Amino acid sequence: MITILSRWHRCSCWCRRYLSSVRLSCSVTSGPYRLLSYGARNYKQNDFFRDLDREFVKFHKKVKESLPGSSWSPFKSTDHLPPERADIVIIGGGVIGWSIAYWLKQKEQIRDGVKVLLIERDPTYSQASTVLSVGGIRQQFSMRENIRMSLFSAFFLRSINEHLGVVNEDPIDIQFNPSGYLFLADEDRAALLEENVSIQRSCGAEVALLGPQQLKKKFPWINTEGVALASYGLENEGWFDPYSLLNAFRRKALSMGVYQTHGNVTGFDFFTHEMLTRSGDPVTFRRIKIVNVQAPNSLECQPVECSIVVNAAGPWSGQVAEMATIGTGPPDSLTGIKVPVEPKKRYIYVFRSYDGPGLNCPMLVDNTGVYFRREGVGGSYIGSLSSSVG
């Protein structure tokens, strides 16, 4: 490569020397033009050489890029478009979508045996539920399924670098704060809280029940008036940075061969099959065959042929389901049952209290649904009102 470029450099120098020796004479005695002076001719000649140098620089660059090992191609780049085919298409690139992509590749038997494509319409994640959440993790639920899933999640996060670490990349730090969850209950809700704690303990969660005096001793800054009972998570509870977790899943999934594209799903094409039941009634089966993806800031639309579609669009899952004709049938039929998920605006407030609780401040949830937690160590807190607790 050095030899080739040096030859072109010699060619450029030779052209300069040759053209410098050429003198163009011009004599105009009439008309709107007048004879150019030597200085003007020299100025035009210098402009010509500067343009020639620029063209040679462009040519050298093109020759260098076209050599083996470069990424240059004479064809237009299609990196912004998704692949034409995929085995599984995941709609939604939040922490749920990337987690699904990771586990699909983790479970495949052969490297690249399953082609997974993830579609995310907002690469900035400015409206994603993942990065707008408080990032809490707890085992204090009333359903055993939620408790067991959360216990596994806590184990996964404690050993996250063993699962999501990538060779030659920085270790993952999700900034986990193991400060626990603290639920408060009045006289009316104390029995229910005690019942929930019994279920949590039976699933393996470490949760303590605290009376008003024990609560005051553990957290002197709490006003225990009206509090009959409290439950406090002793381990595997707290909060972390959800954006760091999302990026960890995304980085690992991409390293395992997951494809990603940025765009908006505009609709689906279906494969339809009709058959008759034993009673002779016609039944129509529909299966998604193609996902249509529109590139951002473009009218260009790319069809992606696939076998399975995973709806991980979060609050917009209901809208994606309707595009797949789920819930669009008659109200009294099975096809008329909608996916009960829709976007709902929530607010999280940031406030400061320089003499407020310090490092021993847990994620506190009152029986009214009001919650708050510490944000950093500088006297800042975040909180809001949840519509449901438990």
DSSP state of 167: T
Instruction: Inform me whether the pLDDT recorded for 383 exceeds 90.
Output: yes
What pLDDT, on the 0 to 100 scale, is given for residue 204? 96
Distance CA 114, CA 106 (A): 10
Phi/psi for 308 (5° steps) reads -135, 140
Give the per-residue pLDDT at 308. 96
pLDDT at 341 over 60: yes
- Decide: helix, strand or coil at residue 264: strand
pLDDT at 67 > cutoff 70: no
State the pLDDT at residue 32: 44
Distance separating alpha carbons of residues 375 and 105, to the nearest angstrom: 35
pLDDT tens digits for 29-61? 444 444 444 444 455 556 777 777 788 777 767
Query: What's the angle, vertex CA 104, arms to CA 103 and CA 108, rounded to 5?
Result: 115
Cβ-based neighbours of 263, under 8 Å, separated by 6 or more: 82, 119, 121, 293, 294, 295, 296, 302
Q: Where are the alpha helices (DSSP H) in the chain?
A: 2-20, 38-66, 95-107, 144-158, 160-164, 190-202, 212-218, 242-255, 317-323
Separation CA 190–CA 228 (nearest Å):
6
Q: What is the DSSP letter of 83?
A: P
The model's pLDDT over 193-251, given as tens digits with 9 standing for 90+, comes to: 999 999 999 999 999 999 999 999 999 999 999 999 999 999 999 999 999 999 999 99
Residue 191 tokens read as: 């029995």
Closest to 342 in 3D by CA, of 321, 367, 363: 321
Q: In 10 A of CB 219, how many CB atoms?
A: 18
Look up tokens 């990026």; give the residue. Answer: 247
What pLDDT shows up at residue 42? 52
Q: Which comes out higher in pLDDT, residue 128 or 90?
A: 90
Predicted pLDDT of residue 68:
53
Any idea which of 7-16, 102-111, 173-182, 274-283 has the lowest mean pLDDT?
Answer: 7-16
Using the predicted structure, report yes or no on whether residue 8 has a pLDDT greater than 60.
no
At residue 39, φ and ψ (nearest 5 deg) are: -60, -40
Mean pLDDT confidence for 265-288? 88
Cα–Cα dist 233/183, whole Å:
9
> pTM value?
0.76
Task: Tell me which of 76-80, 99-103, 140-144, 257-261 is least confident.
Answer: 76-80
In the predicted model, what is the mean pLDDT of the chain?
84
| Partner residues linked to 25 by β-bridges | none
> Which of these, 20, 47, 84, 118, lies nearest to 290 by C-alpha position?
84
Pair of tokens at residue 65 = 């890029």
Please give the full DSSP string across 169-187, using - where no structure is assigned: SPPP----B---EEEEE-T
Please tell me the least confidently modeled range out of 104-108, 164-168, 347-351, 384-388. Answer: 384-388
User: CA–CA separation, 155 vs 146, rounded Å?
Assistant: 14
The confidence score (pLDDT) of residue 212 equals 95
- What is the rounded average pLDDT of the residues 347-357? 91
C-alpha span between 365 and 384 (Å, rounded): 10
Residue 236: count other Cβ atoms within 10 Å of its Cβ.
Answer: 21
Helix (H, G, I), strand (E, B) or coil at 231: strand
Which pLDDT band holds residue 19 (cuts at 50, 70, 90)?
very low
User: 138-194, pLDDT tens digit by residue?
Assistant: 999 999 999 999 999 999 999 999 999 999 999 999 999 999 999 999 999 999 999
Contact criterion met (CB below 8 Å) for 291 and 268: yes
First to last CA, the chain: 67
Angle between helices 242-255 and 95-107 (to 10 degrees): 30
Q: What is the mean pLDDT of residues 126-146?
A: 93
Question: How many CA atoms lie less than 13 Å away from 74 in the CB half-sphere?
Answer: 3
Residue 25: is its pLDDT beyond 60? Answer: no
Alpha-carbon distance of 93 to 301, in angstroms, equals 19
Q: How many residues does the structure list for the chain?
A: 390
- Angle between helix 190-202 and helix 144-158 axes, rounded to 10 deg: 60
Tally of CB atoms within 10 A around 86: 24
Phi, psi of 94 (to 5 degrees): -80, -165
* Chain centre distance of CA 331: 35
Give tens-digit pLDDT for 298-336.
888 899 999 999 999 999 999 999 999 998 888 887 778
- Output 227 or 277, whichever has higher pLDDT: 227
Residue 14, pLDDT > 90, answer: no
Q: Identify the pLDDT of residue 193.
A: 96
